Structure 1
Amino acid sequence: MIGVRPAAPSDYDRIIAVVDDWWGREIHGILPRLFLDHFHRTSLVAESGDDLAGFLVGFLSPSQPDTAYIHFVGVNPAHRGAGLARRLYETFFALAAADGRTAVRALTSPQNTGSIAFHKAMGFTTTHAPSHDGPAPRVLFHRSLPQPVSPGR
């Protein structure tokens, strides 16, 4: 059984120790410690016993009060294909909606076709941005969140 819980700052060391292996390339530079120091309450960790099964690093935008942002997601290769990434995303969507957020955003590189396909399957729309994040092109993801219906409506 895989459990999902809010992240803690101390989870950073476990996560950063595996990301390069999980991606098969050096990727740790885009996940500085500050994300779990400052956004651990809106980030998630998935565990199977004592083993790290996956994680999602996300936050509620302090500048765009309707938006939540997913910065980094990883699933242990041993747990891929079983719906864990979907479960992490859906847990984050619920957290964001409960805070009144109406949209979730994320981004990736155009070469990351697996990520693009996953986000589309999760209901995200895509926009190609040739210089959104510096000179490297990016694919921007956007997904609207359903808002709870107030009683009496």
Structure 2
Amino acid sequence: MHFLGVHPTRRGEGLGRLLYKSFFSTVASLGCRTASCVTAPVNRNSIAFHRRMGFSILDSDCMVDGVPVVLGYDGVGEDRVIFTKDLDTLLVDW
């Protein structure tokens, strides 16, 4: 997943969950078994959202405010939190 965003005025309506559900369904039908995505360590709302969606955070030697961060993931000074989700364990109605 490269980018998923919901306009701030539309957050909390379930649109992000709906977009992910559609994406997961499509890629799982094509044989994908794992979804990955990234966010900035300062984006606490995104981190919380992805955790609620059942994503796991990839372990790292570097921690920022208790969250594992991959330093320089998107270039110098562009650190990221890396998430993964096993698509084999998706529930039909989550």
The two structures have a TM-score, normalised by structure 2, of 0.76
Q: Which residue, 34, 52, 62 being the options, matches 1:103?
A: 34
Tell me the equivalent position of 1:78. 9
Q: Work out which of the two has the higher radius of gyration on C-alpha atoms and give 1 or 2.
A: 1
Q: Would you say 1:125 and 2:67 are equivalent positions?
A: no
Quote how far apart the aligned CAs of 1:147 are. 6.9
More strand by share: 1
The separation in 2 between residues aligned to 1:119 and 1:106, in whole angstroms, is 9
Unaligned runs of 5+ in 2: 59-68
- Paired position in structure 2 for 1:140: 82
**Given residue 119 of structure 1, which amino acid in structure 2 is its aligned partner?**
H
* Cα-to-partner distance string for 1:61-107 (whole Å, 9 max, x where unaligned): xxxxxxxxx11112233322111110100110000100010000110
- After the TM superposition, which parts of structure 1 deviate over 4 Å for at least 4 consecutive aligned residues? none
Contact 1:109 1:138 in 2 (8 A): yes
| 5+ long unaligned stretches in structure 1 | 1-69, 149-153
Q: Is the 8 A contact 1:102 1:147 kept in 2?
A: no
Q: Deviations over 1:14-73 (max 9, x none)?
A: xxxxxxxxxxxxxxxxxxxxxxxxxxxxxxxxxxxxxxxxxxxxxxxxxxxxxxxx1111
Higher RCO (C-alpha 8 Å, min separation 6): 2
TM-score by length of 1: 0.48
Root mean square deviation, CA, Å: 1.7
